[in-house]
Structure 1
Amino acid sequence: MPRLLLLLLFPLCLFAQEHAFESEIRAFEQADKTTPPPRNPIVFTGSSSIRLWENLGNYFPNKPVLQRGFGGSQLSDVIYYADRVIVPYKPKQVVLYAGENDVAAGKTGQEVYERLVTLFEHVRRELPNTTFTFISIKPSPSRRKYFSEMDNANRLIQAYLAKQRNTQFVDIRPVMLLKNGQPVPELFRSDSLHMLPAGYERWQKVLKPYLK
């Protein structure tokens, strides 16, 4: 589906959002010119939890990972830029973390799910053989009031992907929670939102078996 048609699915305010990330996307494109990306990579994309994953390749040695997350993005932004941060690389696998910012911006779990479906259908249409992997929305301490909507989004997305071929729903919540169901504080930075290396180490252990 042409990118212009994708935009028709969302409010015109997306045009304003586009400018917030255009410089990051152009930086990716410039980097591709100076350092060509691997062929058929595993593209990690989504919001700041991907962008801030320092030394991502070191966590998954011998895997052709390509980091294409852009901070603060919502699923609507990933949809807008899919034809620049996902499709051109012809990845064998897409690993996506997104949706948390959508809920924090006021979207319901249902709306997050619908955005995910739009993105998935576009990627599947353009890249029919690519494995689509969704990392569950994490339980950030600073966003406790949104946990119910995030859980709803995770539930809907998991059920949807279970019915699609060549998809994976990776639930990272269990390794980030204490026995009482509260987030492990030591996994997060002082903002109680973004993760420390300890958090990424737990993600690595859960994600590793899913990577192609």
Structure 2
Amino acid sequence: MDGPGRRRAAAQGGLVLVGSSTIRRWRTAQRALGPYAPLQRGVGGARSADVAKHLPELALRHTPSAVLMFAGTNDLADGRSVQSVVDNVRCVMQQLHSAQPGTKLFYAGITPTPSRWSIWADQDAVNQAIQSLAAQHPSIVYIDTVSALLATGSPPDEAYFVDGLHLNAAGYALWDAAVINTVRPNMPDVAFAAPVGPPSGSYLRVDLGPSNAEDGAQAPSVDDFGIRWNTWHTLQGGEQALAGEALRGLVTTTGAITEVDLVLSGGFRANGLRNGGLTSPSGDKLGTLAVWQATADFFYTGDPDDPGGLMLSGLSPDARHTLRLFASRATDEETRITRFTVEGGEEAVSAEVTTTGPDIGEGGYDGNEGSLVVFTGLVPDAYGRLHLDVDRAAGAFAYLNLLELEVE
């Protein structure tokens, strides 16, 4: 997530989110914490010791006004002591104070889970110790992410988890409420300059997928139609693109540089050429979107470890936008349908497209050749953001090959 251009620019005085996979999988973080310009820096499997050791890279360099931390459960599961976790949290506190006195640390309590119920006593002991610290130090605030889950049972109801350990959408709804209710009275909103956004009539195109020769290709900066593209960073087929990574300063199809960023709010994996990408797109079906480097590879999601979400920021909240999405992956194994949901300043809207299945295309082709999902009249939220979730509606995987944003 720290490669050239990959890191989203942090808002001065924003909120940096650090910790383990609960942070990395938190697809709704950008919406839940919008007023605080959250920056996701979660790392799967991270322990509190890892957060303390790497805090300068994870958080301090972003000069946040607050850091939200969820870590400690992996330490305890690995056999570390309660005191070692508490000491690591103290270390984080001290580093924040040394770098910028007054920086708040929000500590999200270690959540009880069915799969780690056997160590709940130790997890609770950590939570109690952090609550005691918070009572003594105004710079640390404890977030009670525990009570709502325990209200469902002891151990908590499996219905709030994807695998007995990681939260699902229902679990994150409880988590979001606890976090918002604690952050809101303890952190001022970030001072946003209202985004101007690209002018009416602008178009921006983004090619998503891997770049290694065996699995994908990056769309040319200027294609055969004379249209400019934005392409995802260097990525190998099968690798993850992580929440918090970004394409910054997207250019329009005519080459104008904008302040629009594409930020991943939920991770994806990438694949393409060797796995059913559309290598011979038809201009009759896709028009000028028929650029093989863009249609032949894709981002995909199918595992909860890759929640599949992105955000477009830097848009004018006063403008309406059209979003066009193309998704395709050919195989006759099963029918696969992707559901896209867009949320901004108005009610969320959803649409589905069949990406995959036996003979769904011309001449027995087993993938989508020309069906676009098109959302019109989209209004960004007050911070100039549109949020896109990518989910499976049927089958094992959901896909996104390319997108086009039009300012109406």
TM-score range, shorter chain: 0.7 to 0.9
1:102 pairs with 2:75: yes
Which residue of structure 1 aligns with residue 180 of structure 2? 208
1:93 pairs with 2:66: yes
Give the TM-score, by structure 2 length. Answer: 0.43
The aligned amino acid for 1:143 is: R
Which residue of structure 2 aligns with residue 193 of structure 1? 165
1:116 pairs with 2:92: no
Contact 2:113–2:155 (CA under 8 A) maintained in structure 1: no
Greater Rg over alpha carbons, structure:
2
Which residue of structure 2 aligns with residue 152 of structure 1? 125
- Change over 3 Å in CA distance of 1:148–1:130 after alignment to 2: same
Distance in 2 (alpha carbons) for counterparts of 1:36 and 1:171: 29
Q: How does 1:1-212 map to 2 (within 5 A)?
A: 24=1, 26-27=2-3, 30-32=5-7, 35-178=8-151, 180-189=153-162, 191-211=163-183, 212=187
Contact 2:20–2:70 (CA under 8 A) maintained in structure 1: yes
Distance in 2 (alpha carbons) for counterparts of 1:77 and 1:30: 24
Shift in Å, 1:179: 5.6
Contact 2:93–2:140 (CA under 8 A) maintained in structure 1: no
**Where does structure 1 lack aligned partners over 5 or more consecutive residues?**
1-23
Q: Bigger shift: 126-135 or 173-182? A: 173-182
Runs of 4+ in 1 over 4 A off after TM superposition: none
Give the TM-score, by structure 1 length. Answer: 0.81
Distance in 2 (alpha carbons) for counterparts of 1:120 and 1:205: 24
The aligned amino acid for 1:104 is: A
Which residue of structure 2 aligns with residue 20 of structure 1? none
Contact 1:188–1:199 (CA under 8 A) maintained in structure 2: yes
More helix by share: 1
- Change over 3 Å in CA distance of 1:179–1:201 after alignment to 2: closer
SS of 1:141's equivalent in the other structure is coil
The aligned amino acid for 1:192 is: G
Distance in 1 (alpha carbons) for counterparts of 2:153 and 2:32: 29
SS of 2:105's equivalent in the other structure is strand
Shift in Å, 1:63: 2.8
Distance in 2 (alpha carbons) for counterparts of 1:58 and 1:180: 28
Contact 1:110–1:152 (CA under 8 A) maintained in structure 2: no
Distance in 2 (alpha carbons) for counterparts of 1:127 and 1:184: 41
Higher relative contact order (CA 8 A, sep 6+): 1
Contact 2:20–2:44 (CA under 8 A) maintained in structure 1: yes
Distance in 1 (alpha carbons) for counterparts of 2:102 and 2:145: 25
The aligned amino acid for 1:80 is: K
Distance in 2 (alpha carbons) for counterparts of 1:149 and 1:30: 41
Distance in 2 (alpha carbons) for counterparts of 1:177 and 1:55: 22
Distance in 2 (alpha carbons) for counterparts of 1:161 and 1:154: 10
Distance in 2 (alpha carbons) for counterparts of 1:79 and 1:105: 17
RMSD: 1.6
SS of 1:162's equivalent in the other structure is helix
Structure 1 vs Structure 2: percent identity of aligned residues?
Answer: 26
